[in-house]
Structures are given as C-alpha cells and as structure tokens.
A and B are shown apart, each in its own frame.
Chain A
Amino acid sequence: MITIQHLSMRLSAGGRSVTILDDVTLEIPAKQMVAIVGPSGSGKSTLLGLIAGLDRPTSGAIILNGLDITQMSEGPLARYRRAQVGYIFQSFHLIPTLTALENVLVPLELAGTDSPTDQAIELLRAVGLGDRVHHYPVQLSGGEQQRVAVARAFACRPPILLADEPTGNLDSVTGQQVMDLLLSLHRDYGTTLVLVTHDRAIASSMHRVIALRDGRVESDDIIGPSTKIPERIR
C-alpha cells in the first residue's frame, strides 16, 4: 500500500516559484494497476518521481509499508529504490557506455545478487532480447532500448513498478509490445504498476485512472472491480 498525504511540490524556474503539486492525497493498494493522466505540466511525472524517492517534496508524506520515505536519508532511500521500486522512463535512460546486459546487471550487482549475469541474460531473453545482450544502447532501436529498461527496472523483482510514459517515444506497435510486457509482469508477479500516460487506450487497460490538473487530483476513477486483480502466481 502506497499512502500519499497532502503532498506539495514547489520549484523555482527563472527566479519564479512554480507549484507543481498541490496538496495531493491518495492511497494505492498493493497489486493495483494505476494510470496517472493529465495535461502537460499537471505534475504527473513529478508525482511518480516523488513516489520513487527521486526527489523530496516541499511538504507532505509518502508512506510505504508504514515508513515515510520523505523522511529517509539518502542511504536508506537508495536501498528503498533498489528493493521496492522499478522505474521506467519515457526516454529509456540507459547508461550509454554499458551494453544491454550490463545495464540490466547494475541493479542486480548493487543488490549483491548471486550469479547476476545468468539472471540478467534470463531477463533479457524474457523481454525478447536474448540475441542483443552485448549491444550498446546506440545499437538498439527505441523499442529494444525500452525493453532493456523494463528488464532493468524489474531485475530485482520490485513490488512496485513506476513507468513514466513508457510508450511515449515509441511507435504504436512497439508501444503495444512494451505495454504487453508490463501487463504480463503485473499478471505473473502481482506487481503494483503506476504509470503516467497520455494514451487513453493504455489508461483504460488499468484498474484505476487518476487525473491531475494544475497539481491537484481532478478525478480518481476505478474502472474495473478490484477483484480483477490476480493473485500472485509464483
């Protein structure tokens, strides 16, 4: 369960203070699939980043398993990200100097996993890139790069996957492949999935759609019974 209480975020740009999030309060149960939608600048990505612990809010709390991550110092926050959260970016953000395999290896090695290489290769095979493991990001297409990013995000089997417009930079066919991949992870592992999207079709495939406008929650709709949420298979 992710509990967000009175979350606000103000930033300054060019000497002006801009309110990105304004008193957002939400609860996301475990294993739920949530889409966050809204126009540009509504605070979607910022909300996702704050849930991932990538930044600190100006005020408010984000409580996960009883712990407020906004109060964590850098070390515990890094461990939280490593163990609890997988993050997928719109523009992939693979490390350009590492091969596909090495990009996936990073979180496994950070977690001190045994035989990380085997696991990483297994993950890349699972996303259909078994034959591209030694390619560098520049040698991969956008869809392939995003699949590597998904494999990297899911490498440590985190209970929460956060995806920021995961298909935004992809054509529709490739975008669909990546979505199928994310849905299958949810289906197979019971992963909580929170994704930011502009795509109505993708939003409608989720259990719940939260719409933001000017940093506030405009609407919060459950579009399917929570009983649809599958039990964890393994």
Chain B
Amino acid sequence: MNRFIFAMAWRETRGAWRHFLYFFVCIAVGVGALVGVSLFAAHVDRAVSKEAKGLLGGDLEIRSSHPLSAKSWDVLQSLSERGIVVTHVSELVAMAARADGGAGSGQTTQIVELKAVESSYPFYGTMRLEPARSLEQLLHPDVAVCKGMDCRGAVVQEALLLRMGLAVGDRLKIGQTTFLITGLVRTEPDRMANAFSLGPRVLVTQEGLQAAELIKPGSRVRERYLVKLPAGMPFESLRAELRGRLASDSVRVSGYRDAQPQLKQFLEQLSRYLGLIGLTALLIGGLGVAMSIQAFLQEKLRTIAILKTIGADSATVVSTYIVQALGLGLLGSLAGMLLGVLLQRVLPPLLAGMFVSDLLDQLGASAELSAISIGPLLKGGALGLFATLLFTIWPLLRIREIKPAAIFRQEVESAPASSTVRRAPWWVRWGLNDRLTILTSVSVAIGLGGLSIWQAGSWKVGGLYFGGLSLAVVMLMVGARAFVGVLRLLPRLQSLSLRYAMGNILRPGSHTSGMVVAIGISMTIIVTVSLVEQELLHEVGETRPVDAPTFFFIDLQPDQTEGFAKLVQKQTAGRAPELTPLVRSRLHAINGEAVKVEEEREQDERREENKEERRKQWYLSREYVLTFLDQLPKGNEIIRGAWWKPGEAFPIPQVSIEEEAAKSLGLEIGSRVTFDIQGATIDAEVASIRKVEWGNFSTNFYMILSPGSLDGAPLTYVGTIHVPPEQEVPLQQAVVASFPNVSAIHIGDVLENFARVLDRLALAIRAVALFCVVTGGLVMAAALAATRYRRLYESVILKALGATRGLIGRTFAAEYALLGMVGGVIAVGLSSALSWLVLTYIFDLSWSPQPVVLLRGLALTVLLTLLVGWLSTYQILGQRPLAILRHE
C-alpha cells in the first residue's frame, strides 16, 4: 500500500508542475522570510555572546556618573595585588572646533562623543583603525609631526572629518587644548549599541582629556573602570566584593555576562517580531497552498473516482495527495531556505544605519553559513512542511466525499443526500457532524497556534499573535461576505463592465474571501508600520511648539552663567537664555528606609517579574537630575498638594514629584525622600505631585526641589534658547569659542537622528513585510489561475457576441479594483486598530488618525490588486474566440 501511495504521488506530480507553481512559490517565499530572519537572529546572537567581553570592554565594568572618590580609587589600586588589571575610560559629550578657526568648507564646530582612554585599553575585542597601527601609537604621535604644537593625538570617526571638512593630519580644538587627528576609528569593541548618538566619536588619552579641562564639578560624564581578571578567576565573587566596597560611590558594577542586556533584548525583540511577520507571510502563503490544492482536486475528481472504482479507499487516496503535498512542501521549503540565506545577507545592511557604529560589522556577525545556521534552516523547513500539512489537510478531506459513481453522473445527485444537505442545519453544512472533520479542524487550529508559539518563542506573544491574526482573518472574511452580500442587493447596474465584474465576484468558486484575506492581512502589516512610524515622528517632531528651544547648552558652570547669558544676548539681539540649575543624584532612602537596588539578580530572573515591579526597580535605580525652581515650569500641572509660594521658607527642603514616578515609588504628599548627591545626602518632603507633558521639548524633571534646597551641591546649568535658523551657527560658534567646556545640543539634529533610526527600523520591518505582500499577491494570482479557464471561455464567448477587448479588460480591472477596495478598506481599518494598540500599550502614546497614510494604503492595495490581476489575466484578452471554442 505504501508503495502505491508514494508511486501514485509521484505520478500525479510529474506532469502537473504548472498546477503547483503557486503552491511551491507560496511556501518558498514564506519559508524564505522565516529562515532569513531566524538566521539573522542566530548569527547576531552568537556574535553578541562571543563578543560579550569585548562589548563590555572587560570582565567587569564599574560605572559611575562622576570620578571615583580617593577611597574607591584605592580599592581599585589594591586589586593589582591579585593580578587584576584596571583601565579607566571616560565618556562625555563635548564640542570640537576647527583649530584653524574656520578656513575650509565644513562646519567650524561640531558636537562629538569624546572618549578618553589609557594605554591598556582595550582589554578585549579589537579596534579597527586607519592607518592600521595600534591605538597607543596613534594617540601618542611622533613629536616630529606635531611641529612644536600640543602633541596629543585624536582618532576620530570619518563623519567628523566629512562634516567639518577636515582630514587626517589636521588639528581639532576640544576644550582648552588641540589634538592632532592621527587616524580614523572604524569600529571599537565597547561602543554601546545605542541607536542614538549625539555626534561622531573622538578618542583621546586621559591626559588629553585633562588638558582639555572639560570636566568640572557636576559635568555630565560617564566614568568607566574596566577590570580584567587573570585567566580562570570567576568574575561573580569579585563583582559582589566590589559592589560592597564601592557602595559609598553609588557605582554600578556589572559582569560581562550581564553586559548588553538591552542590546540583546532589543535584538531579541526585533527578531521575534520580524519572525512573526515572516510567519504571517508563510500563513498567507498557506492560503495560496490551500487554493492550489483545491483547484487541483477539482481537476482530479475523475481520477479519484476511477481510483476508488479500482478499489482504493479514501484513506489511501487522501494519503497519496498528502504525500504529494508534503513532497511539494519540502521542495518549496528547500527553495525557501535558499531564499532565506539571501535575505539574511540583505537584513544587516538595512539595519546598519540604526547603530552609531556599524555594530553588526563590529560584532563580526557573519552572513556565512556555519553550524549555528543549521537550527534556523531546519526550523524554517519544518515550519514550511508543517504549514503545508495544515493548509492542505482540510481541502484534501473532501476526497472522502467523492463517490466512485461520480464517473457516471456529473449532474445527477443522489436523492437522499441532496435533500438532506439542503435541509441541514449550519453545523452539518460546515461538517461539524463528522468526527473526522471536527478532529481535523481542532488539530489544524492547535497546529497553527503551535506554529505561532514556536516561532514567537513565548506562549504569551505567540498566543496574542495567533489570537490577533485569527481575529483579523475572521474580520476580513466577514467583511468579504458582507461585501458580496451588499453586491447582491445592488440594483442592476447600467455599466456592462461593472455588471460583469460583479458577476465574477459573486459567482460560486470565485475565492473572493480568500483573496480579500490574503491581500488584507499583508496590507494591514504594511499600513500599520507606516501608521506607527508616522505617529512616532509626529509625536517627536511636529508636536514641537514653535518656541521650543533650538539648543540645549549643557555643563555650564555656575560662574559661567552670567557671561553665557551676556554672550547669548549679544549674539541674538537681546534674547535671554533660560538657565536651569541641575545636580545629579540617586535615591538614597524613601521614608527613612534605605533604597536597595537589586542589581544582583540576573536578567532572566528580572524578565519573570511583572511590569509594575520592573518599573519600580527602574525608578529606584535610575539617576535623577534634580533642580530647584521658583515657578512651576510650563507644561507642568499640579495634581495633588501645592507648589511653594515665592520666598517661602521651609524647615526641610520640599520636593515636587512627577506623577508616574510618585506612583511607582509609592510616594504621597508628606513622604520623605533622601537623595544621594555624590556621597552627601539631603532629605526632602514631598509637597506636590505633578503631571508633566514630556513632549514639550523643554527641560523636564521628575523631581523639582524648593529654592535653596541644593545650596552647596555641585551644580551645573543647562541653558535653553530658541533662535531663528540664521543665528544658529554663529551662536554655536561663539559659545564654543568662549566656553569650550559647554556642549551645544541642537534639537533639530537630534530629531533628525531619531527619524533616521526610525526610518531604518521601519525599512527592515518593511523588507520582511514585503514577503507578506508577495505571498498575498501570489494567493490572488493562484485564485485567479483557478478560474482562468472559466474566464477564458467567457471572454471568448463575449468576444464572439461582439464584445471588444477593451470591454473585457475593463471588466477585469473593475473586478480587481473592487477586490482591492474591499481588502484595502478592511486593511486600513485593521491597521488603525493595530497601530492604536501598539501606540497605546507599547509606546504609551495617544493615537490620532492619519488620513494621508490610510488613503495611501488604500490606493496601494487597489494598485497591487490591479497589477497582480492584470499580470495573471492579460493573456486572456488576446485569445482568438474560434481557436478556443473549437477545442472546447
């Protein structure tokens, strides 16, 4: 029997390639999307794990927002007795200026991300530099090339040279000193994979940083002490020891294994959601598979009846066609694997622009196949086969209903059967009275749910995905049926082509629902991506008030504020900058109870916690930028308690807390908060709770203290000013020249940077979503192919009766446009709902209608259906009637 099944499956396939083209391509495209994303994820994941020490810069990292105290420094010095080496890295934002003062073509000033290192840096990973010399050599250039000037080298990112019109060998002024540009940095192992950067990297020595005199009390700087352990020494015990011994400096100590959790988490999330879009492509493709099988069976009715006459039972025939489908699914999956390998070569370049440096390149995430590629490839193949089975089993079950007597009678139905069916209740018509049908339906549903959970790698995400997808499919099907219902009710139309088009849609076996579902789902994804992207851009860009600051000048020292204000007024014809005092702090205690930041727990453990608990931990452990203000700032609203009156004196400092922070920290009016400001603590009483409009582009604070509370603390000021575009460059240049330690952050540039990152992300998502659109188009093509002969026959009869090619063409176009309209209208509706969910629950943003995006989505859907329809049927238009009718 088995021999018969396999032999027959092969015989039925060899001459029917044409029938299975769409089947094959649908599976290949779906599997291709899945495999591409999985391979990308696997390769990046391996690279991140392999380069973990390089990404951190050491076995351990001690991080602080201020230089270490002498006591803590002694602790680090003492480690050398145990063979442990420490290197000091400082990272800060600074302004670089052309040392020649402005000759040449580029900008004269540029904000940069400055990194000062010692000679032992880096401990792990490699730096790619140009020229290919050691960092040490480049940072300490030969005295001969310095021509008697400061002999400090700087290695910079190429972007800096391009923006400032400089070249290697030119000089750069940073703070109070100048640096000779000695080379370019292509990749550095421990540059944090931040999607956002304020400016290009400049690497200098610690001595160079000191000479620049940028770091003042309260300056914004990230001090990192990288620790390298002797081989074989575990890092966990030292991590615990250092957390204890350096506690007074409120530093963060992390090991290489818990390094980059954010990066890992981001990449994991990205590949998870890209993977689900890939799965959607496969599931849409599944519809095409089901349609192809259905059309194939329609042609095989006679063969199946003959087989049954000869003595084949239904199980044998069904098995034969399942084996055939699985064989084709296997071939499709293999082709999909190849396609996936190609796709994963395309994804990294698409995503590259998202990271400040070429992170993927830096990680050495190779696109070459290796042992770790086997898992994703096999998984993709298995998903392809599984999907084939799930989508073919339902149509193949119909084989059971084909009676051998069908050979004799095509039109005549058996009397008892027909009357039973007509009178049957809906569950009988849906096959729900047949145990096998019910069992198969349940199995298919469980199987599809299982596929979703397997791909998502999470019960919750997989379950939500499957639930959402099922809901979308149901809505599309209901929409398609309603549309057909409405068409039926319409009065007879005048236009002949519209009338024929409607006839084509209304006719049984027209696959209207299937086409609408396939087109609708794929367009839903595309439109949702656009809606979310537009809303995010709108949120950060277009809601910016016209008077929002152009610049944030950071790290102004208290003794510089007066001079700075004067300079700004001079440069801007009398505009006064808004100056806000700042001090960095951490929470020390709440209501007298010391805050214990639970750093010890590993990432996996944290993931298990609920959202509230994670939020609370975030609020407890973060750094707070404190200020004191007389007046309630713009965009703030007191919701509980009261703001202090001007000149009011308090026995203990008062603090106003932002509402979300208050909620997460459990603070009420009258609660006591103790802040740790570089080792010194101050107590404050909660006087009010505020609602803050974060998107107003002003300096906003979680915690605002009453005036006088921060006297004696190491304050810096941030200056904000709104200036017209023509004053931007002169102002920035003047400030950098007079206050070299002050950095000017241009909001427009930051927003542009944000938009660019968002654009890359959206591009990567669209690249995978494109696979959904391709499979959606294939499903439509498959559905049209199934009705091709009928269309051909009807069109030649119409021609024989005098219809022109134009009329038939218009009929087809009207039909496809109608289908596109229905799919498109439901898709934009679904994507509005989906984008609302995403914006509300993931981004905590409000949703607003985007009519332009929606209209564009609708137009795109109609164009797509017209294109696919035209490609599938244009050949019919050219057929000569006689040739077709003679061979009828």
Residues of A within 8 A of B (CB): 10-13, 17, 45-46, 49, 52-56, 58, 74-75, 77-83, 87, 89, 93-98, 102, 105-107, 109-112, 152, 156
Chain A min CB distance to B420 (Å) = 11
CB contacts (< 8 Å) of B403 on chain A: these are 54-55
Is B664 part of the binding interface, using a Cβ–Cβ cutoff of 8 Å?
A: no
Q: Which of A17, A54, A105 contacts B404 (CB 8 A)?
A: A54
Choose from B4, B307, B313 the contact partner of A75 (Cβ within 8 Å).
B313
- Whether B849 is near chain A, meaning CB under 8 Å from some CB there, is no
Inter-chain contact A110/B414, CB cutoff 8 Å:
no
- When chains A and B are docked, how far (Å) is the Cα of A78 from the Cα of B307? 10
How far apart are the CA atoms of A205 and B3 in the complex, in Å?
40
**Is there a chain A Cβ closer than 8 Å to B419's Cβ?**
yes
Given the complex, which residues of A lie within 8 Å of B312, measured CB to CB?
78, 82, 106, 110
B612 → chain A closest CB, angstroms: 59
User: Does B407 reach chain A (CB closer than 8 Å)?
Assistant: yes
Decide if the interface of chain B is mainly helix, strand, loop or mixed. Answer: helix
Q: When the two chains form their complex, are residues B310 and A81 in contact, meaning their CB atoms are under 8 A apart? A: yes
Neighbour of A106 across the interface among B310, B315, B413, CB < 8 A: B310
B306: Cβ under 8 A from any A Cβ: yes
Chain B residue with Cβ nearest A98:
B11
CB of A95 within 8 A of CB of B306, answer yes
Closest 3 CB pairs of A and B: A82-B311, A78-B313, A109-B4
Q: Which residues of B contact A96 (CB under 8 A)?
A: 303
Q: Which residues of B contact A17 (CB under 8 A)?
A: 415
List, in ascending order, chain A residues with CB within 8 A of B404's CB. 52-55, 81
Residues of A within 8 A of B316 (CB): 78, 110
CB <8 Å contact, A81 and B15: no
* Chain A CB within 8 A of B1 CB: yes
From A77, A81, A95, A109, give the contact of B7 (CB < 8 A): A109
- In the complex with contacts A89-B407, A98-B11, A106-B4, A55-B310 CB distance below 8 A: no
Contact in complex: A93, B302 (CB < 8 Å): yes
Q: Given known contacts A75-B313, A98-B11, what 6 new A-B pairs fall within 8 Å (CB)?
A: A11-B413, A55-B403, A79-B313, A93-B309, A93-B407, A110-B310
Chain B residues whose C-beta falls within 8 Å of the C-beta of A89 in the assembled complex: 407
List residues of chain B with CB within 8 A of the CB of A81. Answer: 308-311, 404
* B427 beta carbon closer than 8 Å to chain A: no
Complex Cα distance, B411 from A78, in Å, reads 24
Chain B residues in 8 Å Cβ range of A79: 311, 313
Residues of B within 8 A of A105 (CB): 7
How distant is the Cα of A109 from the Cα of B419 in the complex, in angstroms? 38
Contact of B418 among A12, A54, A87, A102 (CB under 8 A): A12
Contacting pair A97 B12 (CB below 8 A): yes
Q: A58-B416, A109-B4 are in contact. Are A97 and B311 (CB under 8 A)?
A: no
Kindly state the separation between the CA atoms of A105 and B3 in the bound complex, as whole angstroms.
11
5 sample A-B contacts, Cβ–Cβ < 8 Å, listed by A number: A11-B413, A54-B405, A55-B405, A75-B315, A97-B303
CB-defined contacts of B15 to chain A, threshold 8 Å: 97
Instruction: Report how far A61 CA is from B500 CA in the complex, Å.
Output: 51
- Partner of B415 from A11, A102, A111, A152 at Cβ < 8 Å: A11
- Which residues of chain A have C-beta atoms less than 8 A from B313's C-beta? 74-75, 77-79
Number of interface residues of B (CB under 8 A): 37
The reply to whether B415 and A110 form a contact with Cβ atoms under 8 Å apart is no
A82 partner residues in chain B, CB cutoff 8 A: 310-312
Q: Are B303 and A95 in contact (CB under 8 A)?
A: yes
B841 interface residue, CB < 8 Å from A?
no
- For B12, B306, B414, the residue with the greatest tally of chain A CB atoms inside 10 Å of its CB is B306
Nearest-neighbour CB distance to chain A for B220, whole angstroms, equals: 76
Bound CA–CA A195/B312 (angstroms): 23
Do A109 and B407 touch across chains, with their CB atoms under 8 A apart?
no
Instruction: Give complex CA distance A163, B405 in Å.
Output: 15
B323 within 8 A of A: no
Which residue in chain B gives the minimum CB-CB distance to A76? B313
> Quick check: B415 and A12 within 8 Å, CB to CB?
yes
Task: Tell which of A10, A87, A97, A111 touches B16, judged by Cβ atoms closer than 8 Å.
Answer: A97
Query: B419 to chain A: closest CB distance in Å?
Result: 7
Report Cα–Cα, A95/B12, bound state, in Å: 10
Which chain B residue shows the least CB distance to A96? B303
**How far does the Cβ of B323 sit from chain A's closest Cβ, in whole Å?**
14
Contacts of B407 in A (CB 8 A): 54, 89, 93
Chain B residues contacting A12 (CB-CB under 8 Å) are 412-415, 418-419
Cβ-based interface call for B696 (8 A): no
Question: In the complex, what's the smallest C-beta–C-beta distance from A114 to chain B, in angstroms?
Answer: 11
Contact B308 A78 (CB under 8 A): yes
Q: Which residues of B contact A53 (CB under 8 A)?
A: 404
Q: Is B426 an interface residue (CB 8 A)?
A: no
Q: Which residue of B lies closest to A91 (CB)?
A: B407
The closest CB in chain A to the CB of B400 belongs to A74
Within 8 Å CB of A110, what residues of B?
A: 1, 4, 310-312, 316
Nearest CB in chain A: distance from B326 CB, A: 19
* Alpha-carbon distance A10/B310, docked complex (angstroms): 25
Q: Which B residues from 305 to 330 make CB contacts under 8 A with A?
A: 306-316
User: Which residue of chain A has its CB nearest to the CB of B304?
Assistant: A95
- The answer, yes or no, to whether B8 is at the interface (CB within 8 Å) is yes
Asked, given contacts A13-B411, A102-B11, A106-B8, whether A52 binds B303 with beta carbons under 8 Å apart, the answer is no
A20 to chain B, nearest CB (A): 9
Q: Is the CB of A95 within 8 A of B415?
A: no
Smallest CB–CB gap between A150 and chain B, Å? 13
Verify B311–A49 contact, CB threshold 8 A.
Answer: no
| A107 contacts B306, C-beta separation under 8 Å | no
Flag if B311 contacts A83 (CB, 8 Å). Answer: yes
Q: Is the CB of B310 within 8 A of A152?
A: yes
Among A56, A74, A106, A109, contact of B314 (Cβ-Cβ < 8 Å): A74
Interface string of B1-31 (1 = CB under 8 A from A): 1011001100110011000000000000000
Report how far A88 CA is from B415 CA in the complex, Å.
26
Query: Nearest residue in A to B16 (C-beta to C-beta)?
Result: A97
Inter-chain contact B309/A52, CB cutoff 8 Å: yes
A55 lies within 8 A of B414 (CB): yes
Q: Indicate with 1 or 0, residue by residue over B470-505, a CB within 8 angstroms of chain A CB atoms.
A: 000000000000000000000000000000000000
Q: What is the minimal beta-carbon distance from B103 to any residue of chain A, in angstroms?
A: 82
How far does the Cβ of A110 sit from chain B's closest Cβ, in whole Å? 5
Chain A residues with CB under 8 Å of B415's CB are: 10-12, 17, 58
Residues from chain B with Cβ under 8 Å of A106 in the complex: 4, 8, 307, 310, 312
Question: Judging by beta carbons under 8 Å apart, are A11 and B412 in contact?
Answer: yes
Chain A residue nearest to B407 (CB atoms) is A93
Distance of A12 Cα from B3 Cα, bound (Å): 40
Closest A residue, CB atoms, query B405 = A55
Determine the residue in chain B with the shortest Cβ distance to A85. B311
Question: What's the nearest-Cβ distance from chain A to residue B328, in Å?
Answer: 15
Q: Which residues of B contact A54 (CB under 8 A)?
A: 308-309, 403-405, 407-408
Complex CA gap A106/B12 in Å reads 12
Whether B307 and A95, one on each chain, are in contact in the complex, defined by CB atoms closer than 8 angstroms, is yes
CA distance A55 to B403 in the complex (A): 7
